[in-house]
């Protein structure tokens, strides 16, 4: 029986290993593409790997960046600032909403929960016009709030965190209240530490969404100095990609946009895996 189980584990390990390699191929391709010389980018039949790696693509991208009206440092600063603030705000707001929906009873609780679940069905494009109207009426066009506010209402984050909070024992919270703990103390010193895997997952998903998005820079921002790095590289490489010589710079820009997502995931991966493995307390 033990021998049979060992064989099964070996087979599963091999299958999962091959599947992991297959899922890594797009990431490897992004790196390979960024270092391919022009001759290999248009090679037919195309090759997955690079034969003669070069930094010429990045050099060409830097030359294109130097002629920009707004310094590229400004775009990088805008992206880092808005993404960081959005992650913090979404985590705080989502945890407070999820805690209230999970552990408190109040009028309209079920309605709010139903609306939150219904919001999961709407694609971002479906709420684009309402978002623009709200941002315009709030008078925050051409401000950093226009980058942040559209992502604060995050039904996916609320729903995910609520699943964790639901499994926190009520007796534990009751004991904390008997000891004189306030609701803020319970939230930040009991709920958040217990639900760290969910917090990490919410932070990762929010960062990926805000770092890669072009929506605020396109629809809510008119001042070029307030736009973000993905928008800048997108407009820069869209012009370059129309000619053969610009394909290398476009590939280098794609790698630069992807790297922050990869680094952030590697930092958070252990807790994200815990979120996928179980939900809340056992």
Q: What one-character-per-residue DSSP string does 206-258 give?
A: HHHHHHH--HIIIII--SGGG--HHHHHHHHHHHHTTSGGGHHHHHHHHHHHH
Q: Identify the weakest region by mean pLDDT among 29-33, 156-160, 220-224, 247-251.
A: 247-251
pLDDT value, residue 212: 85
Among 272, 146, 115, 116, residue whose Cα is nearest residue 204? 272
pLDDT value, residue 282: 43
Give the H/E segment covering residue 126: none
Domain edges within the chain: 71-277
The CATH code of the domain at 71-277 is 1.10.3720.10
Residues near 244 by beta carbon (within 8 Å), at least 6 away in sequence? 38, 42
Residue pair 152/231 in contact by the 8 Å Cβ criterion: no
The model's pTM: 0.80
Confidence of residue 278 (pLDDT cuts 50, 70, 90): low
pLDDT greater than 70 at residue 4: no
Question: Cα separations (Å) of 186 from 88, 190, 191?
Answer: 19, 5, 6
Residue pair 246/240 in contact by the 8 Å Cβ criterion: yes
């Amino acid at each position: 029986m033990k021998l049979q189980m060992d064989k099964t584990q070996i087979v599963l390990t091999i299958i999962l290993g091959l599947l992991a390699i297959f899922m890594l191929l797009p990431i490897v391709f992004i790196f390979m593409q960024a270092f391919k010389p022009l001759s290999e980018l248009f090679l037919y039949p195309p090759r997955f790997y690079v034969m003669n790696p070069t930094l010429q693509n990045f050099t060409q991208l830097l030359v294109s960046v130097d002629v920009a009206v707004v310094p590229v440092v400004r775009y990088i600063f805008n992206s880092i600032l808005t993404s960081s603030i959005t992650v913090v705000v979404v985590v705080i707001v989502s945890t407070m909403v999820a805690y209230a929906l999970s552990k408190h009873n109040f009028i309209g609780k079920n309605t709010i929960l139903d609306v939150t679940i219904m919001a999961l069905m709407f694609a971002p494009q479906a709420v684009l016009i309402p978002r623009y109207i709200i941002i315009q009426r709030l008078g925050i066009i051409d401000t950093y709030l226009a980058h942040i506010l559209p992502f604060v209402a995050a039904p996916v984050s609320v729903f995910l965190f609520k699943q964790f909070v639901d499994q926190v024992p009520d007796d534990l919270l009751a004991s904390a209240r008997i000891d004189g703990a306030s609701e803020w103390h319970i939230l930040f010193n009991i709920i958040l530490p217990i639900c760290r895997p969910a917090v990490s997952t919410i932070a990762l998903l929010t960062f990926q969404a805000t770092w890669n998005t072009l929506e605020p820079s396109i629809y809510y921002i008119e001042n070029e100095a307030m736009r973000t790095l993905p928008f800048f590289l997108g407009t820069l490489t869209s012009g370059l990609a129309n000619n053969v010589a610009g394909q290398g710079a476009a590939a280098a820009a794609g790698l630069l946009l992807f790297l922050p997502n990869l680094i952030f995931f590697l930092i958070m991966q252990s807790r994200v895996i815990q979120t996928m493995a179980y939900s809340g307390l056992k």
